[in-house]
Amino acid sequence: MIKNKFIKSSLILLIGSVFSKLMGAIIKILQTRILGPSIIFKYSSIMPTFMFLISLSSCGIPIATERLIAKGNYRSSNILINSFIISFIINIVLSIIILIFGKFFIINILKDKDLVLANYFIIPIIFFTSISSIIRSYFFGKERMGIISITSFLENLFRLIIVLLVYPLIKTFKYKYAILSLIVIYAFTEGFSILFFLFFIPRRGFDKNIISFNRHIFKLSFKTSFYTTLTGLINSLAFFIEMNIITYFNTFNMSLKPIYLSILNYTLPIILLPSFISLTISSSLIPRINKLNSYKSIYKTIRLALTIIFIISFILLLTIYIYGSRISNILFKYPNPLFIRTLVPFFIFQYMIYPVNAYFDAKNKSYYNFYISLISFFIRTILLFILLKIYINIYVYIFITIFNIIISFIIYFYLLHINLKQNKKA
């Protein structure tokens, strides 16, 4: 029964993810063709900041909410209300920061005055996105994956209609109003998603007595969200420092950064194509583990998840290994992705890490994910700098990428073994 429930949830979510990915790709292609390179370039320049703020606004609260709802020790309505309170406080702080420093950042860092107006309209988006992700976590916790898949499909369908009907008009706007319009549309689609989710949340049990701050729920939510947020920040910092190290050593070897960017923009996106499968199955794992108490049930569920991910990832990565150049040519019109056959075999270990990561989140041990990310960050950064000092060549980056995946894999599975062993004794 446990296996069937887990497989059913994963399958529903996986089918929904496939449709969402396909529709997302179609939307991206149409968006680029309709708006043209000038608007897309300006929109893309604000997107990293935009996505970073969205990541901060959620602050790991959806994972904490999902875990608490799946556990079932508190009323779902009480968990949601307290999650909204925490999220609201975080987003108020972020909004103040955007209002004070946003304009300075846009003008002095991004150096594009056309993005100033759009910067302020990011504020409603971080509120909408936070609310949407918390409500989505409710359905994850309840293992109602069908609703998540349907909502995701309808949201993408809504975006597709807007792209076809509204984007041709946006193309005629001045740059600053065009970017502003795209930001407003993003907020509008998030609002649509919220309304659809709210339609399926049961109304019973929502009375005035639950609208209160619960210190214990806050403490549990904060513990998970704090480390989840720190993990995200460490990963973002690692990428930022890596880029700057490569840029620095590029002055001594001018081919270093172009090859690095080629790997980043063409090779890794192809290798990471199957990652959504592992992430989807891992998402289904969090509520399932929270509903299990016995060592045997937890062990069987994790083993099942790892087996499914290994088989699917192996088949897809083998396909990429054989046909990687053709796939790159179709997607990017770039027929020779560099080092793709060197890197592909090792990414199966990366995909096997995701369910272990989810297990620690489910068990309220997100600090493990943070510590591993921190260790990985220091190893990767220090090694990259030292080895490039010795030998300025892209092979250093390739070696460190592979080494980092293997070290992370070993640490994750060692800690998983220790935790399952402790669970067995308990």
Quick: pLDDT tens for 250-294.
Answer: 878 778 888 888 888 788 888 988 888 888 888 888 888 877 777
Q: Which residue has the higher pLDDT, 120 or 376?
A: 376
CA distance 348 to 351: 5
**412 φψ region: left (φ > 0), alpha (ψ -120 to 50), beta (else):** alpha
Contact 21, 276 (CB under 8 A): yes
Q: What is the mean pLDDT of the chain?
A: 82
- What percentage of the chain has pLDDT greater than the value 70? 93
- Mean of the pLDDT values across residues 387-402? 91
Task: Burial-class residue 58 by CB neighbours within 10 Å (0-12, 13-18, 19+).
Answer: buried
Q: Which of 83-97, 252-266, 337-351, 390-404 has the lowest mean pLDDT?
A: 252-266
Rounded Cα distance, 188 and 159, in Å:
10
Q: Which residues contact 21 (CB under 8 A, 6 or more apart)?
A: 276
For 234-255, b/e burial (b = at least 16 CB within 10 A) is: beeebeeebeebbeebbeeeee
Question: Which is higher by pLDDT, 366 or 346?
Answer: 346
CA distances, 185 to each of 32, 48, 161, 189 (Å)? 16, 18, 12, 6
Residue-level pLDDT at 222 = 73
Residues 6+ apart with CB under 8 A from 330: none
Is the predicted pLDDT of residue 111 greater than 50, yes or no?
Answer: yes
pLDDT at 103 over 70: yes
Q: Which has more pLDDT, 240 or 318?
A: 318
pLDDT at 321 over 90: yes
Using the predicted structure, report yes or no on whether residue 213 has a pLDDT greater than 70. no
Q: Whole-model pTM?
A: 0.78
263 secondary structure, DSSP code: I
pLDDT computed for residue 376 by the predictor = 92
Question: pLDDT at position 154, please?
Answer: 83
What is the average pLDDT across 203-230?
68
Could you give the C-alpha distances from 180 to 114, 117, 155, 402, in angstroms and in order?
A: 9, 7, 20, 41
Quote the pLDDT of residue 4. 60
Q: How confident is the model at residue 249 (pLDDT cuts 50, 70, 90)?
A: confident
